[in-house]
A and B are shown apart, each in its own frame.
Chain A
């Protein structure tokens, strides 16, 4: 791991929600490609585990317990990257505290929407604002935000989650247009990887087969299936790509 000459050699990346799943897979892929990574999340033990794994393979990683949507912690995360390694080249806004299924008529929905929005949308915005001056002054950077096919499909019961994800796509495209002149690229990735919680939900709602039938490739992905696209979007190979929404979901989204 972390051999010289990788596509992210010399780069510094922040990945949120990286204690497990997709975030952890991206952190490992980035470190393997030569980046120094700062990972954040809620659970210290998980962050320590991912950090140890990266270090064991020769990579450079630091962790920080931080909750998406907390401005002070967003600032500390970026400060950590700057004080440790002097730069931030890549930001992956992956963290999202999401709420459970609720129909629109349920009075609790308003509170749920605030939770999803604070964590995913405001959390992404805060970190983007914090990394902006560093990326601008360094001559560019790449920001990868996580949307969801649920935002496009408008599945009943998922308004809180889906609307936060669509707000993120709007944030992405607006930032791509505002910050392109600073060579800061911003793209949205629509990932689909099976997590224990998603598996539980699909079985509980008897929708496993119905969901699988929407996946053109015919199988549910894993976090490791998502990381290659996040690596491509972070690398110089995608220098002319900004403002895009790209699904890595086995072909269940056709945008």
Chain B
């Protein structure tokens, strides 16, 4: 099996944790990057204890210097980075009229600019190998719209546009870029929204309307990320795959 090094941002919890663990189980050497060092370390330790290869990396992805240091560290330990999962994101449930500039900037800086910074940081490795797999984790709300999440959905919609443009620009260089668009997934982020009563209707009512009437699990999304980053998926690029239980788009 070809050695591959993967970087997963927001790898300390939720979808990022599940994706880090799944890629490691499939034999990838993974860099678990999170702004929360302890959570990244816990995931990396779980992987190592199970016999996989992982290191924890701590960085705010909106900060280029921190990102470059983390990428340098991962490259030094496991070699050139061929797989990138741009997953890290922050949320801020808020009516549009009340969104403050600093919250708008924080979401765009992390969710969209962060992906731009991390992708630029790992790109030289992929270009040198003429092989790369990038997955941008967007969101169902970017496809359908969602109340009280305008800045979040705008940032995730930006990731879909980024996916398509990079697919065209980097395709001839052997790099595929796809987007996985999760629906309602059982993550700490979703739980905060449920517990905070932030949905207009009870969440059970929302998932009951889906063809597959359950909350998605982080590993459902991880499986799609693993597929898109596999050797076999080399002819698939620029796609947006909804992992959403069939929620209408």
Chain A contacts to B: CB under 8 angstroms: 176-177, 179-181, 183, 185, 215-218, 221, 225-226, 228-229, 232, 237-244, 246-251, 253-255
Q: Which residues of B pack against A, CB within 8 Å?
A: 164, 167-168, 171-172, 176, 183, 210-214, 216-217, 220, 223-224, 226-227, 230, 232-246, 248
29 examples of A-B residue contacts, CB within 8 angstroms = A176-B211, A180-B211, A180-B246, A185-B212, A217-B176, A218-B171, A218-B172, A228-B232, A232-B227, A237-B223, A237-B226, A238-B223, A238-B224, A240-B214, A240-B216, A240-B243, A240-B244, A241-B243, A242-B212, A242-B246, A246-B239, A246-B241, A248-B236, A250-B171, A251-B171, A251-B236, A254-B164, A254-B167, A254-B239
Q: In the bound complex, what is the Cα–Cα distance between A185 and B212 (angstroms)?
A: 9
* Given pairs A180-B213, A238-B223, 11 additional interface contacts (CB within 8 A): A176-B246, A180-B246, A181-B211, A216-B168, A217-B171, A217-B235, A229-B227, A240-B217, A241-B244, A243-B242, A254-B239
Interchain nearest-CB distance for A236 vs B (Å): 8
Bound state CA distance, A134 and B123, in angstroms? 48
Closest-by-CB residue of B relative to A179 is B211
Give CA–CA (A218, B232) in the complex, Å. Answer: 17
Chain A residues closer than 8 Å to B244, beta-carbon distance:
240-241
Q: In the assembled complex, which residues on chain A have CB atoms less than 8 Å from the CB atom of B241?
A: 241, 244, 246
Given contacts A176-B211, A243-B211, contact A225 B235 (CB under 8 A): yes
Q: With contacts A180-B210, A180-B212, A185-B212 known, is A240 near B236, CB below 8 A?
A: no
Query: Would B245 and A242 count as touching, CB distance under 8 A?
Result: yes
- Return chain B residues, CB-CB under 8 Å to A228: 227, 230, 232-233
Q: Given the complex, which residues of A lie within 8 Å of B232, measured CB to CB?
A: 228
> In the assembled complex, which residues on chain A have CB atoms less than 8 Å from the CB atom of B227?
228-229, 232, 237-238
Cβ-closest 7 pairs across A and B? A180-B211, A216-B171, A225-B235, A228-B232, A240-B220, A251-B237, A237-B223
A150, chain B: closest CB distance, angstroms: 17
**B216–chain A nearest beta-carbon distance, Å:** 5
Q: CB distance B236 to A229 under 8 Å?
A: yes
Cβ-neighbour of B224 out of A181, A241, A251 (below 8 A): A241
A240 touches B234 (CB 8 A): no
Contacts of B233 in A (CB 8 A): 228-229
Nearest B residue (CB) for A235: B223
Q: Is A251 within 8 A of B246, CB to CB? A: no
Q: Tell me the minimal C-beta distance from A219 to chain B in angstroms.
A: 9
Contact B245 A247 (CB under 8 A): no
Chain A residue contacts of B235, Cβ below 8 A: 217, 221, 225-226, 248-250
Compute how far the CA of A215 lies from the CA of B167 in the bound complex, rounded to whole angstroms: 10
Taking CB atoms, residues of chain A closer than 8 Å to B167 are 216, 251, 254
Residue of B nearest to A237 (CB): B223
Contacts of A215 in B (CB 8 A): 171
Residues in A with CB closer than 8 Å to B220 are: 239-241
Instruction: Say whether B217 contacts A247, CB under 8 Å.
Output: no
Shortest C-beta distance, B169 to chain A (Å), equals: 8
From the candidates B172, B216, B238, name the one contacting A253 in the complex (CB within 8 A). B238
Quick one: closest B residue to A193, CB to CB? B235
Whole-angstrom distance from the CB of A30 to the nearest CB of chain B? Answer: 14
Q: Are A240 and B238 in contact (CB under 8 A)?
A: no
List B contacts of A242 (CB < 8 A). 211-212, 245-246
Q: Flag if A216 contacts B238 (CB, 8 Å).
A: yes
With both beta carbons as reference points, the residue of chain B lying nearest to A175 in the complex is identified as B211
Most chain-B Cβ atoms within 10 A of its Cβ — which of A217, A226, A248, A249? A217
B246 close to A177 (CB less than 8 A): yes
Closest residue of chain B to A252, judged by CB?
A: B238
Report how far A139 CA is from B176 CA in the complex, Å: 35
A169 to chain B, nearest CB (A): 12
A15 to B176, CA, bound (A): 28
CA distance A215 to B234 in the complex (A): 13
| Chain A: CB-nearest residue to B160 | A254
Decide: A254 and B211 in contact? CB cutoff 8 A: no
Give CA–CA (A225, B230) in the complex, Å. Answer: 12
The docked-state distance in angstroms from the alpha carbon of A238 to that of B226 is 11
Docked complex Cα distance between A185 and B245 (Å) = 9
Interface contact A225-B242, CB-CB below 8 Å: no
Nearest CB of chain A from residue B220's CB, rounded to whole Å: 4
